[in-house]
Chain A
Amino acid sequence: MVISIAVHGAPYASQASRSALRFAECALARGHAVHRIFFYHEGVLAAGSHGVAPQDEEDVHAGWVSLQESHGVELAACIANSLKRGMLDAGERDRYEKPSATVHPRFTLVGLGQLVDAIATSDRFVTFAA
């Protein structure tokens, strides 16, 4: 089965990102395909590479990066939701002349068409709300 996942909650403020990460790992372990993780609303903050996880808590951002590196799962963050929350990749940093890029290169900033595409092309679309 082809599965896509939406993450709406911010890491550390909400359990959404951790739950979604566990769900994705389990789906892959069961032999399903995970087409795209779409980060929306405060969920886009998971793309930030500047956060420092507390020592006694799981590093959610690192978990997503690791999932991408080991399984090639697409990590897509809504570009409009990202920009206003300070999530910029190198291209957007240059475009808006900001001091630094904040998004990890394993994440891509995409338009909402990619959300609709994820729904249309997957057998299941699972939302982890905040």
Chain B
Amino acid sequence: MRRKRILFLLTRAPYASARAVETLESVQVAGVFEQEVSVLFKGAGVYQLLEGQEGSAVGQRTVGKILSALPEYDVERIFVCGPSMQRFGIEEADLCVAAQRLDQAEQRDLLAGQDAVVTG
């Protein structure tokens, strides 16, 4: 399979819908298939990164645990939208995985460098 640069853009809050978990499943598979995967959390998607999640309390898988395991799928490039963090009052110390904080210009550059962008 051809190797492509694929950015997954995660914009949905976890637990309100299945979007976060289902999109992260495709992130894992893209990693397994040796694609050059990047993940950007933006908008309400930054809530997926919060530490101390317990999905079982609401009958769901824990998104934070899926994120922590992404390196096992060779997904190492994790980015987060700085202005979104600010908007939702989230600090870097609140995050459950190390994500590189990007401003708007840096996000434009990240998107411009991709072969495909998948929104979720």
Interface positions of A (Cβ within 8 A of B): 6, 8, 40-41, 80-81, 111-113, 115-117, 119-121, 125, 127, 129
Contacts and interface: CB of A to CB of B under 8 A. Distances in A.
Contacts of A80: 22, 25
A127 B26 CA distance: 14
A116 B25 contact: no
Given A40-B22, A41-B18, A121-B2, A116 B119 contact: no
Contacts of A113: 29, 32-33
Interface size for chain B: under 10, 10 to 19, 20 to 34, or 35 or more residues?
20 to 34
B14 to A, nearest CB: 14
B44 to A, nearest CB: 14
A40 B116 CA distance: 17
A120 B33 contact: yes
Given A112-B26, A112-B29, A113-B29, A119 B119 contact: no
Nearest first, the 5 A-B pairs at minimum CB distance are: A112-B29, A125-B116, A116-B33, A120-B2, A120-B1
Nearest to A122: B116
Contact of A119 (B25, B32, B35): B35
Contact of A116 (B18, B19, B30, B115): B30
B118 A119 contact: yes
Interface of B: 1-4, 6, 18-19, 22, 25-26, 29-30, 32-33, 35, 115-120
Contacts of B19: 41
A71 to B, nearest CB: 23
Contacts of A117: 1, 33
A36 to B, nearest CB: 13
A84 to B, nearest CB: 8
Contacts of A119: 4, 6, 30, 35, 115-116, 118
A8 B33 CA distance: 22
Contacts of B115: 119
Contacts of B22: 40-41, 80-81
A13 B71 CA distance: 36
Nearest to B35: A116
